[in-house]
Structure 1
Amino acid sequence: MSDAIRAETVFIGDEQIQAYQARPLDPGPFPGVVLIHHLPGWDEANKEMVRKFAAHGYSAICPNLFWREAPNASPDDASAFVRGQGGVPDEQVIKDVATAAAALRALDNANGKVGAIGHCSGGRQTLLVSTAVDLDAAVDCYGAFALEAPPSGSGLNFTPIKDRLPDVRCPVLGLFGDDDKFPAPDEVGRLAELMAQHGKSFEYHSYEGAGHAFFAVDRPSYRPQAAVDGWQRVFAFFGKHLAA
């Protein structure tokens, strides 16, 4: 397989949702990955992750979840506006991710399998969409407010999704930091217990010395050792569940 990829902004579905896509140029077939961006928005860090997946043999796409609320705005401005609205409604996220997954499956070099991954709010939303979208695997990277509502004063309207967990449709990998507060280790433990009670496949790992956003190379929270191990686990997990 060559290392040639094509990366570009595309418009998908009947609504022509703005999205960033990168895909290998070989005939394939290749699995797909939907990247759900974090609350800071559809930014360069997420687009770089999309290209990383393409370089590893995945067709990847990151829909701009804020395109309706803040069209043509910068990631910072769009994020500020959406934060002021309390976030994007869950059902809207589900709809947009389903559209992105369908776009990946429609590619001429697709193998038909699609996973999803997200960090922070995107981690919560990845767990959310795993209950409502036909995915083959999902990776929740320190998704906050899955079991508990955001603290008062945060301005966020996220609703806990623990009642949806019986509907999870695919294996889930969770990657967390021991020093994180949202979600804190006790919440991660309760999530694991609930997934087990519902008979769901939930593999998770929590890193000592890592807090929230330890994957973020452009932030002081970056923890190289945890991030490198986390990426290895992500590719092993997707390799297991998304292979043709």
Structure 2
Amino acid sequence: MYDAMLAETVTITGAGGDEIEAYLARPLGPGPYGSVVVIHHMPGYDEPTKEITRRFARQGYLAICPNLHHREAPGASPDDAAAASRAAGGVPDERLVGDVAGAAAYLRGLSSANGKVGVIGYCSGGRQAFLAACSLPLDAAVDCYGAFVVGTPPEGSGLTMTPLIGMTDRLSAPLLGLFGAEDQSPSPEQTAELEQALRKFGKTYEFHTYPDAGHAFFAVNRPSYRPQAANEGWQRVFDWFGRYLSA
């Protein structure tokens, strides 16, 4: 079997018709392949997130990560772009939805796509994955420790995020949630509140909370990394997308 993939920077049309940078990784076989929009964490459109995008391509998905901070600091380092975005209050929710819609449309337009699109996000991206799945027609969603789906940012953070739990009835896709028991953003109490709302509206979901893990336990380049939780989490992600994004 032919085994090769291509990873490259592309330009997509995001919210408001803006052209923004994105990172695309895809197998070079004929497909058809399911597609995944990767939403980066608050630290930005960085190399670890690009590696996550390539990992999905290695698993047989068309994957794209839009640079959500492109407008604030085009061409800047991920750290500087993230700082500029944070200073502006974070990525506006309406703009996020438009950028994910543009990324999904780009993937669906590829000749090897099977038409099914999922979304995954980490940290702030986990919240944004939930937002996207409540705002767009998607086929699967994964929330990796997304803060402020329930609750609000602390005083002085500069962020203007509002809770999303009131949108739960609009969730369009089966949702996988992966959380750390030692996390406080979201806390176990907050994930339990979200789970209660999902049950109330009869949504398809699975939540898994890992002991001895806190926020960002997937992040291999940070002290928060927890190999066992991350490895188990990756397997659940691939099982979830395999279930809902296959041809």
Q: TM-score range by the shorter chain?
A: over 0.9
Which amino acid counterpart does residue 76 of structure 1 have in structure 2?
Answer: D
Instruction: Map 1:97-112 to 2 at 5 A.
Output: 97-112=100-115
Matches of 1:18 and 1:162 in 2, distance apart?
30
- The C-alpha deviation readout for 1:137-162, integer Å capped at 9, x for no partner, is 00000000111011111111101111
Instruction: Note if 1:56 corresponds to 2:59.
Output: yes
Which amino acid counterpart does residue 5 of structure 1 have in structure 2?
Answer: M
Instruction: Map 1:17-96 to 2 at 5 A.
Output: 17-96=20-99
Which amino acid counterpart does residue 81 of structure 2 have in structure 1?
Answer: A
Which amino acid counterpart does residue 160 of structure 2 have in structure 1?
Answer: N
Structure 1: runs of 5 or more not aligned: none
Alignment-derived partner of residue 12 in structure 2: 12
Which amino acid counterpart does residue 206 of structure 2 have in structure 1?
Answer: E
Instruction: Note if 1:157 corresponds to 2:160.
Output: yes
Matches of 2:89 and 2:41 in 1, distance apart?
14
Instruction: Note if 1:122 corresponds to 2:125.
Output: yes
Cα deviation for residue 203 of structure 1 reads 0.6
Matches of 1:37 and 1:75 in 2, distance apart?
11
For residue 61 of structure 1, give the secondary structure of its aligned residue in structure 2. Answer: strand
Write out the 4+ residue segments of structure 1 that deviate beyond 3 Å after TM superposition: none
Which amino acid counterpart does residue 7 of structure 2 have in structure 1?
Answer: A
For residue 188 of structure 1, give the secondary structure of its aligned residue in structure 2. Answer: helix
Which amino acid counterpart does residue 198 of structure 2 have in structure 1?
Answer: M
Which amino acid counterpart does residue 44 of structure 1 have in structure 2?
Answer: E
Matches of 2:53 and 2:232 in 1, distance apart?
18
Instruction: Note if 1:3 corresponds to 2:3.
Output: yes
For residue 135 of structure 2, give the secondary structure of its aligned residue in structure 1. Answer: coil
Identity of matched residues, %:
59
Matches of 1:3 and 1:56 in 2, distance apart?
11
Matches of 1:16 and 1:108 in 2, distance apart?
21
Matches of 2:20 and 2:81 in 1, distance apart?
15
For residue 230 of structure 2, give the secondary structure of its aligned residue in structure 1. Answer: helix
Instruction: Map 1:141-152 to 2 at 5 A.
Output: 141-152=144-155
Tell which deviates more after alignment, 70-79 or 9-18.
9-18
Matches of 1:46 and 1:3 in 2, distance apart?
22
